């Protein structure tokens, strides 16, 4: 790894560690446990690359790492959708069928991926999984807008961060395929800088002193019962 890559990677790790600390200190980890798992996996994998780059800074490890991240991002998308719509029967029914369809698509993409590390996986398998995950987050955003659902600032930050990064990540893969591996170092730097911006957003949200009060599930359901009575 180049010196500038090490500096950026260490900064990202510090931001991720700070986000985890903020989620725990502010009691927000319980709002999305899969996001906590994703941050832990991210911190562990990136630390391994920094500590032993000769062993972990390789294509096979990158592919395994991305597969793990894809699974955890899918879990984040599903958990957030459930947390946002679980108190609203109409939105829940819509989300259930749509999420099931997208989940089947994501699972199929994972299952059809090669079982051995191949360079082609970066341009074939990975974009499909990124697209499925992005659609899951888009689904939740559409349900929130359509049904005017309340949503936590943390959830908005997670959704926005993943949506922005997924779009740019897919673009970088396209550029890498067009320009070739000679631009890999520069594209990696751009990718890391973008993800650093996303993690700094998460860091700020996780440590925010105050958050808008969200109505409890029982309160929402009680209000729905009163309206239908």
pLDDT tens-place values along the chain, 229 residues long = 677 778 888 999 999 999 999 999 999 999 999 999 999 999 999 999 999 988 988 878 887 888 889 889 888 988 887 777 765 665 556 655 665 566 566 556 555 555 444 555 555 666 667 777 777 787 777 777 777 777 888 988 998 899 888 888 777 777 776 766 566 666 777 788 889 999 999 999 999 986 655 555 444 444 444 444 4
Asked if 1 and 56 count as a contact pair (C-beta separation under 8 A), the reply is no
Residue 2 three-state SS:
coil
Distances (CA, A) of 156 to 60, 159, 185, 196: 33, 5, 31, 18
Q: In the prediction, which pLDDT does 33 show?
A: 94
Q: In the prediction, which pLDDT does 199 show?
A: 95
Query: Which single residue is written with the structure tokens 């998460």?
Result: 202
pTM exceeds 0.85, yes or no: no
Q: In the prediction, which pLDDT does 60 show?
A: 82
Q: In the prediction, which pLDDT does 211 show?
A: 62
Tokens, residue 203: 């860091």
Residue 26 three-state SS:
coil
Q: In the prediction, which pLDDT does 200 show?
A: 95
| Per-residue DSSP letter, 215 | P
Contacting residues for 137 by C-beta, under 8 A, at least 6 apart: 77, 80, 159, 162, 163, 166
Tokens, residue 192: 């890391």
Q: In the prediction, which pLDDT does 138 show?
A: 78
Give the Cα-Cα-Cα angle 54, 60, 66 (nearest 5 degrees): 110
CA distance 63 to 9: 18
CA distance 59 to 121: 10
């Amino acid at each position: 790894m180049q010196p500038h890559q090490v500096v950026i990677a260490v900064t990202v790790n510090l931001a991720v560690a700070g986000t985890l600390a903020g989620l725990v200190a502010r009691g927000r980890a319980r709002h999305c446990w899969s996001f906590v798992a994703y941050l832990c996996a991210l911190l562990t994998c990136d630390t391994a690359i920094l500590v032993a780059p000769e062993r972990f800074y390789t294509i096979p490890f990158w592919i395994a790492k991305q597969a793990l991240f894809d699974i955890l991002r899918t879990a984040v998308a599903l958990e957030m959708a459930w947390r946002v719509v679980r108190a609203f029967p109409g939105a829940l029914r819509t989300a259930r069928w749509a999420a099931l369809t997208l989940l089947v698509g994501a699972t199929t993409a994972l299952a059809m991926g090669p079982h051995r590390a191949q360079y082609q996986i970066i341009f074939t398998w990975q974009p499909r999984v990124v697209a499925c995950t992005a659609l899951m987050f888009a689904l939740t955003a559409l349900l929130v807008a359509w049904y005017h659902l309340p949503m936590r600032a943390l959830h908005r930050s997670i959704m926005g961060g993943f949506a922005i990064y997924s779009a740019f990540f897919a673009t970088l893969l396209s550029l890498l395929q067009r320009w070739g591996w000679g631009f890999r170092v520069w594209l990696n730097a751009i990718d890391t800088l973008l993800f650093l911006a996303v993690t700094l957003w998460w860091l700020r949200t996780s440590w925010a002193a105050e958050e808008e009060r969200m109505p409890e599930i029982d309160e929402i359901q009680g209000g729905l019962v009163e309206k239908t009575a």
